Structure 1
Amino acid sequence: MTTYLAAGLAVLLACSAATGAQGPDPDADTAREAETVISAAPPAALPVRPVADLERWSGRITGWTASHREAIAVRLFDAPSHGLPDLEAHAIAILEGQGSEAELNRLAGLAYLRFAGWLEFGLIDPETHAPRVLLDEEAAMLVRRLGWAFETGDAAQAIDDAAPTVRDYDTLRAEMMRVLAVTPIWPGVQSGPSLSAGDVGGRVDQLRTRLTAEGLLDGDWQEGDHYDIRLETAVRRYQGRTNLAPSGRMDQATLRQLNLPPDRRIGQLMANLEQRRWRTRDLGRRHIWVNLADFRLEAWEDGQLAREHEVMVGRQASSTPEFSEDMQYIVLNPWWGLPNGSARPRFQSFRRNPSLARELGFRIYNRSGEAISVYEIDWSRWGGDWPYRMSQPPGATNPMGEVKFIFPNRNNIYIHDTTERDQFVRTRRDFSAGCIRVQDPLALAQWVLDGQDGWSRARIDEVVAGSSPTVVWLDDRIPVHIAYWTVVGDPDGRVRYLNDLYRRDSGVIDAYLAAHESHSPALPVTSRSMPGPVVASFD
């Protein structure tokens, strides 16, 4: 017992000592038929904030009782289900209760600060991916929270309150528990040809065993049974879970997913649970949520899903970033101010055929902002300091479509309509230069302007039927959250594993596993950058 207690304290103190690295968007301007730039102000330099000394903060926790320590210890067993380092040794040391009251209180305090800190703020820094350290102000908040929990007699509530409230966090946590439970018996399916209805044999039995372990098929089947409608339905459900076309046939893509080792799923779940911990707890009473990996936009109001829209996102070479900003206004019949990357090939086409600029309605401006003719362009400056920009007025060929939604940000990303609406039928939709194209944008505009005086759907349609750019400032700003999550939990409790479109997962997973290992992990997870399983050690 003394070894457990000493080891637990040593690990927690090592944890507490760890350190880690801490265009503009266009607005319609009808006077100039050009665009005004509104952009987010650059972030101010953040002051250096003191890192918490967990020993000192643990000593400030008063009011411990045996029942309080026990409640905290029981919660520590939940750490792996959150994808966090195993704290079983600390829990056992506290529950066995050997050692002085002061030693037990100290261990319980350190364990609480570490676990609650991970839940509240994350294990790694979302910007640098370095191991995250607890700051003084954060430790103070956690100590106050535990004090309030002591007053209510429910110490465990202090840990429960630290867990994310993002809507699918509990669903992903349940999936983590399921995967951990089946990992020791994770069955595979031998390589071979695709399987479909009517097939029989050992590989069909292996497929049934695998889907039974997934919880998608009841176990009341016999070896040698043929590939029947029940198995086909289970395969469809599995394909839906892994973002494959739900054919019901075990094709080679499905076989590859079935034979992914469990450590891959565990790593993916760990990273996605961590990404939930990075998100603000207050998304906004009315807010817009975009998951780039799911090609989906959701409009939420008072905790209820109000609207869903398919979206197109940036190509891999121009991937859409993740961030949160407030939507401030929308533009009906918007101009398009071409970014340099889009403008240069059009300038080249106008050089070959100057009449195209007039035919397509493009306006060209010099560095002073004066409108000029395409024939006034000094092409000798093409390879150097190019002083020209262009914009396109509203119209059928304007790729902004009928509306754009502006939430000023340093990335110059916004949501807008598109002229390529037929592309929404495709499953994979990474077509844009970085901005987000939304399906049925006028319905989204109606939701955004709901309750704003004078802006009914009929009024929106009336304005769009014309050609004048119209800016509508929002009475109440709407937070827009753009995320990239490759595991999502649906409202019905289903979990879907999405394609890692931008190949961002591997960096997060590797950094997370490295931090996980430094905090005494106990999950059998293998990383490409780590040759073998990570195993807990409290020696």
Structure 2
Amino acid sequence: MTAGTGWSEAMIGQVAAALFDSPSHGLPSLDRSAQDLLDPTIPHETRAVLASQAFMRFGGWLRYGLIDSETHDPRLLDPAEAAALHRTLDRALVEGRLGEALDALAPDLRDYQILRAEMLRLMALQPIWPQIEDGPTLVAADRGPRVDQLRARLAAVGLYREDWSAGDPFDLRLETAVRRYQGRANLSPSGQLDRPTLQQLNVTPQARMAQLRVNLEQRRWQSRTPGRRNIRVNLADFSLEAWEDGRLARQFEVMVGRQVSSTPEFSEDMQYIVLNPWWGIPGGLAQTRFQSFRRNPGLAAQLGFRIYDANGSQISVYDIDWSRWGRNWPYRMSQPPGSTNPMGEVKFIFPNSYNVYIHDTTERDRFSETRRDFSAACIRVRDPLLLAQWVLSGQADWDGDRIEQVAAGSTPTVVWLDERMPVHINYWTVVGDADGEVRYLNDLYHRDDGLIDRYQQAYAAAAETGWSRISRRATVSSAGN
């Protein structure tokens, strides 16, 4: 079907109504295009062509995003994507459901609509949030204007009641409210107004909207190929979700990489899991471990480590040439399964260029902490055998009892998946919870600013600025020729 054919006035109106919603998706305004589509002084044929163009543009943004997920450059549709959108448009014209077709192109992810509702709230209210003056950490019993400002700021987000008076001290009720705010943001819940908490509280509404736009865009990136059964990790929220047929099946707490060894964002397919895994120590960590062996060589044998030279031959720790330390270190090291092996009882392998995977840990007590950036880039999961049961559910001979029986031994066991499972490692700093609440998380790795800048550049470039009217003039001129 060619552009401009098959359009009724009602269908043009459906597209116009959808275009007015563009800002709620965190996308540039298309109001001027919508107004042109509703302008009775413009010939129907011209508006039909404009409606086709608008459907493709807005639909492309909803389905594929405004910027590229890897380069963060403005995104153009490739031929296959454009063809798919054209087929969607053709079907919608036949069925007369243009608005529904555009709605269906938006991400079908649990919290996308929750974040959209938050965007609408911010757009409608344009709130003025009280700022807190810079200064030292505020603690219990402190008084003064900054304590009053803190109360006002927490009241603005519904975490503190309004029944207080200027000059009241920093009391237990205020400390509890601060802890609640810190917990929601995944900050260490000290109950004090420390530097990280002050920075979070002083983010302006405009900056929050920019952050929200980027997080809506990030959902669009993932919605293209989530997989029937898939795992989604949100590094900023220290969480792992197991999804099946569009339903959240299980949720797990995780630890992620420290700032100096931050966990990357990527998607790959899980191919197998290993029960009772060996630990092949990465180079940087190996050097740290070798330092302890240099001071106490007997520790290597005590912990069961095996050391190999550049030729792959196993050597004794006493054969190491320590003079080569810090240069081209030719040794590698691995540790067999056991109670001191940091891999724990199971690891989940989805081959990737970062050598990052999900695994158990021997530091399980650290899951009690709110901020959990402790690893060397890999993802440590709480209750790993429960995750293994979910991953292998439906796979012959690998029920929960069999998994626990094998894990209780010491023999490394590889279990290949019957069906590969997508694993999505994300870094999302705004999340919508199941109860509809929105949490703005601590930007643990300081990645938001750069991404927001790139998105804002594309956002400004793609803003309407006469696009519809320029297209209309070109169409009218072409029709006149």
Q: What is the deviation of 1:61?
A: 5.0
1:292-441 aligned within 5 A: 292-382=235-325, 384-441=327-384
Q: What is the deviation of 1:244?
A: 5.2
Q: Distance in 2 between matches of 1:433 and 1:179?
A: 38
Matched, 1:263 2:198: no
Matched, 1:449 2:388: no
Unaligned runs of at least 5 residues, structure 1: 1-56, 523-535
Give the match for residue 5 of structure 2: 62
Q: What is the deviation of 1:384?
A: 4.5
Secondary structure of the corresponding residue to residue 161 of structure 1: helix
Q: Deviations over 1:65-99 (max 9, x none)?
A: 21111110111110110111111111111112222
Give the counterpart letter for 1:188 in structure 2: P
Q: Distance in 1 between matches of 2:128 and 2:462?
A: 27
Q: Distance in 1 between matches of 2:64 and 2:301?
A: 55
Q: What is the deviation of 1:506?
A: 0.7
Give the match for residue 497 of structure 1: 440
Matched, 1:165 2:95: no
1:229-268 aligned within 5 A: 241-243=184-186, 257-268=200-211
Of 27, 32, 37, the residue aligned with 1:84 is 27
Closer/same/farther in 2, CA of residues 449 and 538 from structure 1, 3 Å limit: same
Give the number of aligned pairs: 466
Q: Does structure 1 conserve the Cα–Cα contact (< 8 Å) formed by 2:310 and 2:331?
A: yes
Secondary structure of the corresponding residue to residue 482 of structure 1: strand
Q: Distance in 1 between matches of 2:342 and 2:101?
A: 50
Give the match for residue 477 of structure 1: 420
Q: Distance in 1 between matches of 2:341 and 2:188?
A: 33
Q: Distance in 1 between matches of 2:236 and 2:129?
A: 28
Give the counterpart letter for 2:203 in structure 1: L
Q: Distance in 1 between matches of 2:165 and 2:303?
A: 67
Q: Deviations over 1:93-127 (max 9, x none)?
A: 11122222232122222222111111111111111
What is the root-mean-square deviation of aligned Cα atoms in Å? 3.5
Give the match for residue 113 of structure 1: 56
Q: Distance in 2 between matches of 1:222 and 1:350?
A: 59
Give the counterpart letter for 1:325 in structure 2: E
Q: Distance in 1 between matches of 2:190 and 2:308?
A: 53
Q: Deviations over 1:8-45 (max 9, x none)?
A: xxxxxxxxxxxxxxxxxxxxxxxxxxxxxxxxxxxxxx
Secondary structure of the corresponding residue to residue 156 of structure 1: helix
Closer/same/farther in 2, CA of residues 108 and 405 from structure 1, 3 Å limit: same
Secondary structure of the corresponding residue to residue 499 of structure 1: coil
Give the match for residue 186 of structure 1: 128
Give the match for residue 102 of structure 1: 45
Range with bigger deviation, 315-324 or 235-244: 235-244
Give the match for residue 37 of structure 1: none
Q: Distance in 2 between matches of 1:411 and 1:149?
A: 42
Q: Does structure 2 conserve the Cα–Cα contact (< 8 Å) formed by 1:298 and 1:308?
A: yes
Q: What is the deviation of 1:482?
A: 0.9
Q: Deviations over 1:42-75 (max 9, x none)?
A: xxxxxxxxxxxxxxx9x63531221111110111
Q: What is the deviation of 1:383?
A: 5.0
Q: What is the deviation of 1:274?
A: 0.6
Matched, 1:281 2:281: no
Q: Deviations over 1:408-433 (max 9, x none)?
A: 11111111111111111111111111
Aligned identity (percent) is 60
Q: Distance in 1 between matches of 2:103 and 2:241?
A: 27
Matched, 1:467 2:410: yes
Give the match for residue 122 of structure 1: 65
Q: Distance in 2 between matches of 1:201 and 1:98?
A: 59
Q: What is the deviation of 1:296?
A: 0.8
Q: Does structure 1 conserve the Cα–Cα contact (< 8 Å) formed by 2:3 and 2:48?
A: no
Q: Does structure 2 conserve the Cα–Cα contact (< 8 Å) formed by 1:313 and 1:430?
A: yes
Matched, 1:152 2:95: yes
Q: Distance in 1 between matches of 2:164 and 2:371?
A: 39
Closer/same/farther in 2, CA of residues 246 and 468 from structure 1, 3 Å limit: closer
Q: Distance in 2 between matches of 1:318 and 1:201?
A: 40
TM-score, structure 1 as length reference: 0.77
Closer/same/farther in 2, CA of residues 216 and 182 from structure 1, 3 Å limit: farther
